[in-house]
A and B are shown apart, each in its own frame.
Chain A
Amino acid sequence: MIHLTINGLGVSVEEGATLLEAAQSVGFPIPTLCHMEGLSPYGACRLCVVEVGEGARARLVSSCTYPAQEELVVRTASARVLRARRMVIELHLASCPQSKTIQDLASALGVRQQRFRQEQESCILCGRCVRMCAEQMMAGAIGFRGRGQSRSVGTPFDQPSDACRLCGGCLYVCPACELRCTYTEPEKAVCGGCANLQPPCVENGRFDQMMCYMDPCVACEIAAQRR
């Protein structure tokens, strides 16, 4: 067991546990976006930062990736942490304002407006879909391409992937794209029609209605070849 201090409270956790798990085990809330139980820690969204260490050596680390260490002193909601989190969520809000998840997080942190030039991006590159595809679906059909500002998620060279089984897991775990592909049945959470060999959207030739994450859509291309 590892013994550490979180917000002044002594906590013991198993070796290998992350700071996020340690904090959650005693009920300290830490907001997260890219973290998901069952997927490996990634540390992309930077929302879960906490302050570790003391004095001049204190610094912020992402709690979802940082392993709990003996005698570590952690603060999950210090002024420095909250200031940083507010800026992180403001940046998220500036890029991806339509996400209900992000709006709620911003609201909870007291961020009511953002001061940057408004963008309308649909992906925050949190990597949940990539990890879902590789780790839970054992497919590895999608991954990150490019770096810096040209980084994106998709299949290699945007070609339909043989590894993709059209399970829709990537859509399901996405925290940003509130508009999941529902095709003609908006009341459904996910249409799932693309899992069929003859998806309804392809039959009607109404690709515009698709909000499929896979761009270009794999299902319809495969279906189109079979017709």
Chain B
Amino acid sequence: MRSLSSVEDLAALRQRLAGRGERAIPTIVIPAGTCGRANGALDLVRAAKRELLARELVGRIGLRVTGCHGFCEMEPSVLVAPHGTFYPKVASEEMGRIIGAAAQDRVVTDLLFADGEGERIERQDDIPFFARQTRRLLGRNQEVDPTRIEDYLASGGYAALAAALAAGPEPVVAEVKASGLRGRGGAGFPTGAKWEMLARQPGRRGKFLVCNADEGDPGAYMDRSALEGNPHAILEGMLVGAVGTGANEGVIYVRDEYPLAIRHVSMAIRQARALGLLGERILGTDLSFDIEVVRGAGAFVCGEETALIRSIEGKVGEPRQRPPFPVQRGIDGKPTLINNVETWANIPLILEKGAAEFAAVGTQGNSGTKIFSLVGKVKRTGLVEVPMGATLGEIIHDIGGGPVGAAAVKAVQTGGPSGGCIPAARFDLPVDYDALTAAGSIMGSGGMIVMDAHTCMVDVARYFMGFLKQESCGKCFTCRKGTQRMHEILDDITRGEGSPEHLQLLEELALAVKDTTMCGLGQTAANPVLSTLRYFREEYLEHIRHGRCPAAVCKALVTYSINEACTGCGACRRACPGEAIRGASKERHVIDSARCTKCGMCVTVCQFGAVAVA
């Protein structure tokens, strides 16, 4: 394709691509994001190609390899477009049947998705996991092959850029402001206001736009899927940002642990440059803007904007005092605007739909949708996109399908290590920035870890504190030492060595860390402790006063024994890796507590529920 020299050229190219009719024929869509590939999606792609060639169906049946669609638990899956037939956990051998059926406009019934013992569901949109979402952003992933700019253009891509170029800077910023979009990175700062600040900065030396893709929360991967699945949407968002704010340089800061995201976004940049959508005098207008990919070396703190700027400059990623804010002094001292991946991905939507329609979804002050990665002790895991203001209960029970086993859901952890745990009693809480902050957690970038009765809240706090202890940059004394000391106290409590004074000290320390640290990492580092203390103080006291872990997680406080339900089958004796179980055949077995390593193997293998953990 030759470089485009005007906005009209772009429209013509889009029309030509859309008119090819590729979208009308049945198409095998295989999601091959990182989650899909890990489960063998590329084998499916190979099998599909082989089948299409063998059956001479090339041209009659299409094949599209896309990014993640969100239902990661069911990978590798196949979607037959445009009908929307969904096949979960497909084996390569079944590919022939699926393609054969698609050619005859049939469905392979026995491969369809079924919820437990329930009926088989044919279409993806009818599966409760998908049906209850509002998939504005994620829904685009199944439409485009992330390595082909043609797909993105044919599905209406870069129309927002054309609209922005036609409107000019002030109306673009006004539109983003009117949409009420708030930063999806976690803090929820109004995006339009941030853009306005950058637009007002003097731009003689140049201005930077940064896409923050240093996603580091344990259990969160929305940004990865967005970059892998639809990189052009991010580029387009940044281009619109360049129109609105007068920035001339862009940086996508993505962690090196996301190789596929880096590859896809690099390809997208190359393709956009070749088409003249990036570079000097874009589409024949005065707009000049180019984007560079900078790979982060794996420090959690580099997601903090001042640390991120230092990292981009090639220095050690350590936060510094704000003010001056990055919008005033950022990369190389130039004004810099930093937005999260998901924020940028929302921008084209606003320009296409208009601010009013964008804000029609969500609640007052919290417009649009938010993607969460729903993981943990919940039946259906994956990426879910819901309108802002949906309740936690809707996400966990209606979309996620509720608890995985017999144990009820106890709490949900939102916002990663900087967030907190919200108890099941408060699942009527709407998910928006303000409500979550008031409840002692944060929205964060969108991690949602569901916990049930088998999760010890003290242990959860200890886990996150261990994470933060490693990831604190160490510059601020209270963050470095505070996280170490909090971890030390939590560790003591989980080992049964805690005292009531410990709890008092822990609380005092947590509040001091929150108050006295410099950057966002330290200021929120105490949240896991404070929120669990707030809602689950009883569990702490149980550990301290009675030396008991109610969830039977803290090994030092748990003993394993075999009760009268034992039939003497010997399964546990054979399974025990520590050879700690003795007993004659058909007689009640006994666990030698001195040898028991508390691995829980006996509980797993016992069919009679005879192993008691207390």
Contact indicator B480/A148 (Cβ below 8 Å): yes
Contact indicator B505/A115 (Cβ below 8 Å): yes
Binary B-proximity of A53-86 (CB < 8 A = 1, otherwise 0): 0000001111001110100000000001001100
Q: Does B509 interact with chain A (Cβ within 8 Å)? A: yes
Q: Does A134 interact with chain B (Cβ within 8 Å)? A: no
Bound Cα distance A127, B518 (Å): 16
Contact indicator B517/A116 (Cβ below 8 Å): no
Question: What are the residues of chain B within 8 A of A115 when measuring CB–CB?
Answer: 501, 505
Contact indicator A147/B301 (Cβ below 8 Å): yes
Binary A-proximity of B434-476 (CB < 8 A = 1, otherwise 0): 0000000000000000000000000000000000011111111
Contact indicator A149/B480 (Cβ below 8 Å): yes
Question: What are the residues of chain A within 8 A of B299 when measuring CB–CB?
Answer: 147
Bound Cα distance A61, B473 (Å): 18
Question: What are the residues of chain A within 8 A of B476 when measuring CB–CB?
Answer: 43-44, 46
Contact indicator B512/A148 (Cβ below 8 Å): no
Query: In residues 39-91 of chain B, which contact A (Cβ within 8 Å)?
Result: none
Question: What are the residues of chain A within 8 A of B516 when measuring CB–CB?
Answer: 46, 49, 60, 62, 84, 87-88
Bound Cα distance A116, B491 (Å): 13
Using a Cβ cutoff of 8 Å, how many contacts connect chains A and B? 97
Cβ-defined partner of A88 (8 Å) among B488, B512, B518: B512
Contact indicator A92/B477 (Cβ below 8 Å): yes
Question: What are the residues of chain B within 8 A of A59 when measuring CB–CB?
Answer: 515
Binary B-proximity of A84-115 (CB < 8 A = 1, otherwise 0): 10011001101100000000000000000001
Contact indicator B478/A88 (Cβ below 8 Å): yes
Centre residue among B470, B488, B518 by max chain A CB count within 10 A: B518
Nearest chain A residue, comparing its CB with the CB of B474: A151
Bound Cα distance A65, B306 (Å): 14
Cβ-defined partner of B474 (8 Å) among A43, A45, A91, A125: A125
Q: Does B508 interact with chain A (Cβ within 8 Å)? A: yes
Nearest chain A residue, comparing its CB with the CB of B523: A59
Cβ-defined partner of B321 (8 Å) among A66, A94, A95: A66
Q: Does A207 interact with chain B (Cβ within 8 Å)? A: no
Q: Does A205 interact with chain B (Cβ within 8 Å)? A: no
Nearest chain A residue, comparing its CB with the CB of B301: A147
B80 → A minimal CB distance (Å): 48
Contact indicator A147/B474 (Cβ below 8 Å): yes
Contact indicator B477/A45 (Cβ below 8 Å): yes
B186 → A minimal CB distance (Å): 18
Cβ-defined partner of B512 (8 Å) among A41, A45, A84, A126: A84
Cβ-defined partner of A148 (8 Å) among B472, B477, B508, B509: B472
B461 → A minimal CB distance (Å): 17
Question: What are the residues of chain B within 8 A of A44 when measuring CB–CB?
Answer: 475-477
Contact indicator A147/B472 (Cβ below 8 Å): yes
Bound Cα distance A84, B515 (Å): 7
Q: Does A117 interact with chain B (Cβ within 8 Å)? A: yes
Binary A-proximity of B582-595 (CB < 8 A = 1, otherwise 0): 00000000000000
Question: What are the residues of chain A within 8 A of B481 when measuring CB–CB?
Answer: 91, 95
Query: In residues 184-225 of chain B, which contact A (Cβ within 8 Å)?
Result: none
Bound Cα distance A125, B483 (Å): 16
Cβ-defined partner of B517 (8 Å) among A46, A144, A148, A149: A46
Question: What are the residues of chain A within 8 A of B508 when measuring CB–CB?
Answer: 87
Given contacts A147-B299, A147-B471, A149-B470, contact A91 B477 (CB under 8 A): yes
Question: What are the residues of chain B within 8 A of A126 when measuring CB–CB?
Answer: 477
A193 → B minimal CB distance (Å): 32
Cβ-defined partner of A149 (8 Å) among B321, B469, B518: B469
Binary A-proximity of B242-262 (CB < 8 A = 1, otherwise 0): 000000000000000000000
Q: Does B316 interact with chain A (Cβ within 8 Å)? A: yes
Q: Does B314 interact with chain A (Cβ within 8 Å)? A: no
Bound Cα distance A88, B480 (Å): 12
Bound Cα distance A119, B320 (Å): 28
Contact indicator A125/B518 (Cβ below 8 Å): no
Question: What are the residues of chain B within 8 A of A38 when measuring CB–CB?
Answer: none
Bound Cα distance A147, B505 (Å): 25
Bound Cα distance A157, B473 (Å): 19
Question: What are the residues of chain B within 8 A of A27 when measuring CB–CB?
Answer: none
Nearest chain A residue, comparing its CB with the CB of B323: A67
Contact indicator B515/A148 (Cβ below 8 Å): no
Q: Does B570 interact with chain A (Cβ within 8 Å)? A: no
Bound Cα distance A94, B480 (Å): 13
Contact indicator A83/B512 (Cβ below 8 Å): yes
Contact indicator A88/B477 (Cβ below 8 Å): yes
Q: Does B363 interact with chain A (Cβ within 8 Å)? A: no
Bound Cα distance A103, B321 (Å): 28
Question: What are the residues of chain A within 8 A of B505 when measuring CB–CB?
Answer: 115-116
Q: Does B484 interact with chain A (Cβ within 8 Å)? A: yes
Q: Does B310 interact with chain A (Cβ within 8 Å)? A: no
Q: Does B382 interact with chain A (Cβ within 8 Å)? A: no
Q: Does A124 interact with chain B (Cβ within 8 Å)? A: yes
Bound Cα distance A125, B481 (Å): 11
Q: Does B148 interact with chain A (Cβ within 8 Å)? A: no
Question: What are the residues of chain B within 8 A of A116 when measuring CB–CB?
Answer: 485, 488, 505
Contact indicator A125/B477 (Cβ below 8 Å): yes
Cβ-defined partner of A91 (8 Å) among B320, B485, B518: B485
Centre residue among B475, B480, B516 by max chain A CB count within 10 A: B516
Query: In residues 497-525 of chain B, which contact A (Cβ within 8 Å)?
Result: 501, 505, 508-509, 512, 515-518
Question: What are the residues of chain B within 8 A of A43 when measuring CB–CB?
Answer: 320-321, 475-476, 518
Question: What are the residues of chain A within 8 A of B480 when measuring CB–CB?
Answer: 125, 148-149, 151
Cβ-defined partner of A65 (8 Å) among B321, B473, B478, B485: B321
Q: List 8 A-B contacts (CB under 8 A).
A: A43-B321, A44-B477, A59-B515, A62-B321, A91-B509, A94-B485, A149-B470, A151-B474
Q: CB within 8 Å of B: which residues of A? A: 41-46, 49, 59-62, 65-67, 69, 80, 83-84, 87-88, 91-92, 94-95, 115-117, 124-127, 144, 146-149, 151
Can you list the 10 inter-chain pairs with the closest CB atoms, starting with the nearest? A151-B474, A87-B512, A65-B321, A148-B472, A46-B516, A46-B478, A60-B515, A84-B516, A84-B515, A91-B481
A sample of 4 more A-B contacts (CB under 8 A), given A43-B320, A88-B512, is A62-B516, A91-B485, A126-B477, A147-B470
Q: CB within 8 Å of A: which residues of B? A: 299, 301, 316, 320-321, 323-324, 469-478, 480-485, 488, 501, 505, 508-509, 512, 515-518
